[in-house]
């Protein structure tokens, strides 16, 4: 995590800019992976993201604490978490017309980028705002969700590769051992780094007494993870209810009650997640505005009514919800919070089954 205390004053940054720029460029080059002639991934690290924030603040000539906090929050999406890798995908064509054609033909790329670990795929999550359905952005921010065993795989040189298998662009590249080792070190640093005190530029954080024996910095990280899961869970609950209310088609008799069972399960789990955050000494953030600011789920299309359209949309959103929950479970395990691990495991078991029901309906 990056805090306001990590940001150098503009004058000091100017004096050290050449040195820090060289270090950041070296870090980016060491984390770059080419995917064929026209695409590359740069795996982000704390060093590369901190450099980007410093450059933005330098360009804006600002030292205002609120503005610094806003930039930190904006760039936080690029930071890898304890249970994921974060990267920037660049689509690169020298010819502008050729690039424009490619950015149109690569719509749907969010289903086609995978990290393959020992034969198992970890499909990347994309920011839905990076495509309007007609054209994608040439720069894509992506995250690869990891299972607990994947960190061991990175450390022990288990064969890995990245695959881009879009019908209009198919390339794969093995993950070199040196890059795997750097990514393992980045992940270990993100898990081990102590949390700095929060201030009002870094989010709405409050800590109260708790019966938990976990250290306060660990509880702060867990509360953040729980509130992130609460936001996705409340958003998903609302989207499931929208599908439940509006579904039409021959599968209505079976899907209408099925969606309601999903909503009932989500409501119960959301209560448990919120209560766990409070038990750890935090505040559960669950108003409509708080959820809208935090959720990572794509918005639900307003005009959808057909049964199988709802099935496909909910399957995608449940799988995104599961990705975040798996990451939160990894964080909880790394911090020794067995109770949260148990809660997240029960959520995963229930909604993996629900996602399977939906995908089976599409077969």
Are residue 13 and residue 153 in the same domain, yes or no?
A: yes
Are residue 229 and residue 180 in the same domain, yes or no?
A: no
Residue 300 pLDDT class (50, 70, 90 cuts): confident
- Identify the burial level of 125 via C-beta atoms within 10 angstroms of its C-beta, where 0-12 means exposed, 13-18 middle and 19 or more buried: buried
Contact 38, 92 (CB under 8 A): yes
Are residue 237 and residue 170 in the same domain, yes or no?
A: no
Residue 203 pLDDT class (50, 70, 90 cuts): very low
- Higher pLDDT among residues 282 and 303, named by residue: 282
In-domain check, residue 200: no
pLDDT (0 to 100) of residue 195: 40
Residue 349: partners with Cβ closer than 8 Å, 6 or more residues away: none
Are residue 341 and residue 285 in the same domain, yes or no?
A: yes
Residue 230 pLDDT class (50, 70, 90 cuts): very high
Residue 198 clears pLDDT 50, i.e. is over it: no
Are residue 354 and residue 228 in the same domain, yes or no?
A: yes
- Higher pLDDT among residues 16 and 156, named by residue: 16
**Tally of structural domains, the chain:** 2
In-domain check, residue 206: no
Q: Within 10 Å of residue 50's Cβ, how many Cβ atoms? A: 19
pLDDT (0 to 100) of residue 200: 33
Tell if the pTM clears 0.85, that is, is over it: no
In-domain check, residue 199: no
Distance CA 353, CA 90 (A): 35
Contact 88, 42 (CB under 8 A): yes
pLDDT tens track for 138-180 = 988 898 988 878 888 888 878 899 999 999 999 999 999 999 9
Are residue 320 and residue 252 in the same domain, yes or no?
A: yes
Are residue 150 and residue 22 in the same domain, yes or no?
A: yes
Residue 289: domain span:
216-362
H/E stretch holding 129: none
Length of the chain: 363
In-domain check, residue 198: no
In-domain check, residue 110: yes
Tokens at 316, concatenated: 């995608």
Distance CA 210, CA 212 (A): 5
Query: In terms of Cα–Cα distance, which of 102, 144, 138, 150 is closest to 126?
Result: 144
In percent, the amount of the chain with pLDDT more than 90 equals 45
Q: What is the CATH number of the domain that holds 239?
A: 1.20.1260.10
In-domain check, residue 207: no
Query: In terms of Cα–Cα distance, which of 60, 46, 54, 57 is closest to 19?
Result: 54
Are residue 112 and residue 29 in the same domain, yes or no?
A: yes
Residue 220 pLDDT class (50, 70, 90 cuts): confident
- Return the residue matching tokens 């250290």: 215
Residue 194 pLDDT class (50, 70, 90 cuts): very low
Residue 209 clears pLDDT 50, i.e. is over it: yes
Are residue 248 and residue 104 in the same domain, yes or no?
A: no
- Return the residue matching tokens 């020298």: 94
Domain boundary among 158, 192, 226: 192
Residue 238 clears pLDDT 70, i.e. is over it: yes
pLDDT tens track for 90-137 = 999 989 899 999 999 999 999 999 999 988 899 998 877 677 778 898
Q: Using DSSP bridges, classify how beta strands 169-174 and 113-117 pair: parallel, antiparallel or unpaired.
A: unpaired
Are residue 46 and residue 141 in the same domain, yes or no?
A: yes
Q: Within 10 Å of residue 113's Cβ, how many Cβ atoms? A: 24
pLDDT (0 to 100) of residue 207: 59
In-domain check, residue 220: yes
Are residue 231 and residue 184 in the same domain, yes or no?
A: no
Are residue 15 and residue 103 in the same domain, yes or no?
A: yes
In-domain check, residue 152: yes
- Higher pLDDT among residues 205 and 76, named by residue: 76
């Amino acid at each position: 995590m990056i805090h306001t205390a990590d940001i150098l004053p503009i004058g000091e940054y100017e004096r050290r800019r050449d040195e820090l720029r060289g270090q950041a460029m070296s870090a980016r080059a060491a984390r770059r992976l080419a995917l064929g002639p026209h695409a590359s991934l740069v795996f982000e690290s704390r060093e590369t993201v901190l450099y980007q924030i410093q450059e933005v603040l330098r360009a804006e000539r600002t030292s205002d604490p609120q503005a610094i906090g806003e930039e930190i929050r904006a760039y936080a999406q690029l930071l890898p978490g304890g249970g994921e890798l974060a990267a920037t995908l660049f689509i690169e064509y020298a010819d502008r017309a050729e690039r424009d054609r490619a950015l149109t033909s690569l719509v749907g790329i969010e289903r086609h980028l995978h990290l393959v670990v020992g034969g198992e795929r970890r499909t990347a999550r994309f920011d839905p705002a990076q495509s309007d359905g007609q054209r994608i952005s040439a720069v894509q921010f992506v995250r690869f969700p990891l299972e607990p065993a994947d960190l061991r795989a990175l450390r022990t040189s288990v064969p890995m590769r990245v695959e881009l298998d879009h019908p209009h662009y198919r390339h794969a590249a093995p993950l070199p051992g040196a890059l795997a080792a750097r990514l393992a070190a980045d992940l270990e640093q993100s898990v081990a780094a102590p949390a700095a005190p929060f201030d009002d530029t870094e989010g709405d954080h409050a800590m109260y007494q708790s019966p938990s024996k976990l250290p306060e910095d660990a509880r702060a990280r867990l509360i953040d993870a729980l509130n992130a899961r609460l936001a996705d869970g409340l958003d998903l609950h609302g989207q499931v209810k929208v599908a439940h209310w509006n579904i039409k088609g021959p599968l209505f008799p079976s899907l209408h009650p099925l969606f309601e069972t999903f909503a009932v399960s989500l409501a119960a789990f959301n209560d448990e997640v919120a209560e766990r955050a409070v038990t750890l000494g935090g505040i559960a953030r669950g108003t409509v505005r708080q959820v809208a600011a935090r959720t990572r789920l794509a918005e639900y299309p307003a005009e959808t009514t057909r049964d199988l359209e709802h099935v496909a949309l909910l399957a995608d959103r449940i799988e995104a919800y599961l990705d975040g929950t798996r990451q939160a479970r990894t964080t909880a395990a790394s911090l020794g919070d067995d109770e949260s691990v148990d809660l997240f495991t029960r959520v995963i078991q229930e909604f993996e089954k629900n996602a399977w029901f939906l995908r089976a309906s599409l077969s």
